[in-house]
Amino acid sequence: MPWMASLPHIRFGLLLALFLLLIVRNVSSEPYVYDEADYMYAASLGFFANWTDTPSISISDFAQARDNGRQSLSQRIRRTGDVLFYRHFHGPLFLYLLIPVAHLRLSERAGRIATLAIPAASLAIVYFGCLWLAPRGAILAALLFLSSYSVIGSTELAPHQLFALCSLASLILLLKAIASGKRRYWYGSIVAGGLAFCTLEVAAALLITLAICCFFERERWRVDGAFAAKSFALFLATVLVVWPAALFRLSFLKAYAVMVYLTATREFPWGSASFIETWRSRILHSPFEWVLIVASVIVWVANRRRNVYPIGLFAALVLMGTVRVLTNTPRYSLAFMPALDLLAGLALVPSFGPLRRPASLAVVTLAVVGLYGNACYQAVHQPHNPNPRSAAVLTYIHQNELENKAVLAPQADLPTLHYYFPGMRLRAYFGREPSESERSDFAANAIIAAAEP
């Protein structure tokens, strides 16, 4: 019957509606803060600046400024207008999507809503990818993804949702290559891996996963020198098209140098939470999701379902690589949570047996109610304007007519002020209040007080 052929699309439409109902209410209307403000400024520089990383200081100048201390590094790079710095040293792929948002001059809420097309596309990849690989796991994997706190809690402008999209596409194509033995899916996985590389540094875990899987499947795929050369050339071609400066200007080395620098020099590079606080927050915000993920890992290991091992390998590598990323901010979990949701759908549901059994139906119903019910609770109770200080600081600037004056401000406020008031002369201070030297060598018309603890 014709309607039966469209049933998967009807189901996806329902899943997408449920997803948008959850995530849109979490979108803030506040001014862009810190990362968001820097990304929007980088987007305002246009495509060519981000494609070529122009302007950008050399690696030697970057190392010299870094050795002179954190304040020297920040001031030096902001004076030069280093576009790579304003991208926080990430690849430019997300910025290409953000440039139209910047040029359309949408409101902050509308700009954030526009980027929700990225997780919506990820939902489509999870659902239709599972239909392609193991149809019975599609609903659970998609439901896990759309209700995950890491996804619905990440509505700010940031490249992490895009990395989840690229990594999911790469993993699904890799699984298809393993299941079918056809090289074209492997090459598609390589291209998606290249796109992930042009998005976030944690893509190194994905590239290692691809290399290990290629080694494991070498006999089945008849891997030889030509196969390896074509794969490597395809990856390089993808990077050259999307981010040529990564190779010609070695911009990717700066990105990884910054990661090492942050990890080595700061006790809490990405936040102030402890290891226990970080994982308690992750688990308590999505308890049902974690129960199903743990159950799927147990089933996967017990049944030795070899066809999904790349997902487990990738998630393990990411977890090891981000062990120092201790923060309650949900977007940092996007590096591994969507992959674990995919693993749960592919490994867990096939173990239930035919879904017409009452016990199986009860388990699935309980999972659906638990997952979506918890997601609704989190959406209702999550603060929709988490940083009211940003609006207050902008109001203060306007009321005191400081738009083109010299202002001494806390480091955390600097990106916002720089983006909204490009004519302002800014100097950052890093403590609870500016030091005597910071006051004496900068004739400030006003000093913005630091936020209360």
pLDDT per residue over 201-258, tens digit each? 999 999 999 999 999 998 888 888 899 999 999 999 999 999 999 888 888 888 887 7
User: Which residue would you say has higher pLDDT here, 208 or 288?
Assistant: 208
Q: Is the peptide bond before 244 cis (omega within 30 degrees of 0)?
A: no
Q: Which pLDDT score, from 0 to 100, does residue 106 have? A: 87
The pLDDT of residue 453 is 47
pLDDT band per the 50, 70, 90 thresholds, residue 169: very high
pLDDT of residue 390: 84
Per-position b or e across 81-109, b if 16+ CB within 10 A of its CB:
bbbbbbbbbbbbbbbbbbbebbeeeeebe
For residue 129, the model assigns a pLDDT of 92
Q: Which residues, 6 or more positions from 332, have their beta carbon under 8 angstroms from its beta carbon?
A: 160, 270, 322, 325
**Mind listing the pLDDT tens digit for each residue in 310-321?**
999 999 999 998
pLDDT, residue 264, reads: 65
Contact 170, 210 (CB under 8 A): yes
pLDDT class for 59, splitting at 50, 70, 90? low
Percentage of the chain beyond pLDDT 70 is 85
Higher pLDDT among residues 265 and 258, named by residue: 258
Give the pLDDT band (50/70/90) at residue 394. confident
Average pLDDT in the 162-186 region? Answer: 94
Q: Flag whether pLDDT at 338 surpasses 90.
A: yes
Question: Contact 216/307 with Cβ under 8 angstroms?
Answer: no
pLDDT digits (tens, 9 = 90+) for 122-165: 999 999 999 888 877 788 899 999 989 999 988 999 999 999 99
Average pLDDT over residues 8-35: 87
Comparing 65-79, 259-273, 344-358, 390-404, the range with the smallest average pLDDT is: 65-79
Average pLDDT, the chain: 84
Q: What is the rounded average pLDDT of the residues 157-176? A: 96
Cβ–Cβ under 8 Å, residues 417 and 424: yes
Supply the pLDDT for residue 73: 59
Strand partners, 410: 429
For the chain, domain boundaries: 2-28+114-381, 388-453
The pLDDT of 416-445, averaged and rounded, is 81
What pLDDT score does 400 carry?
87
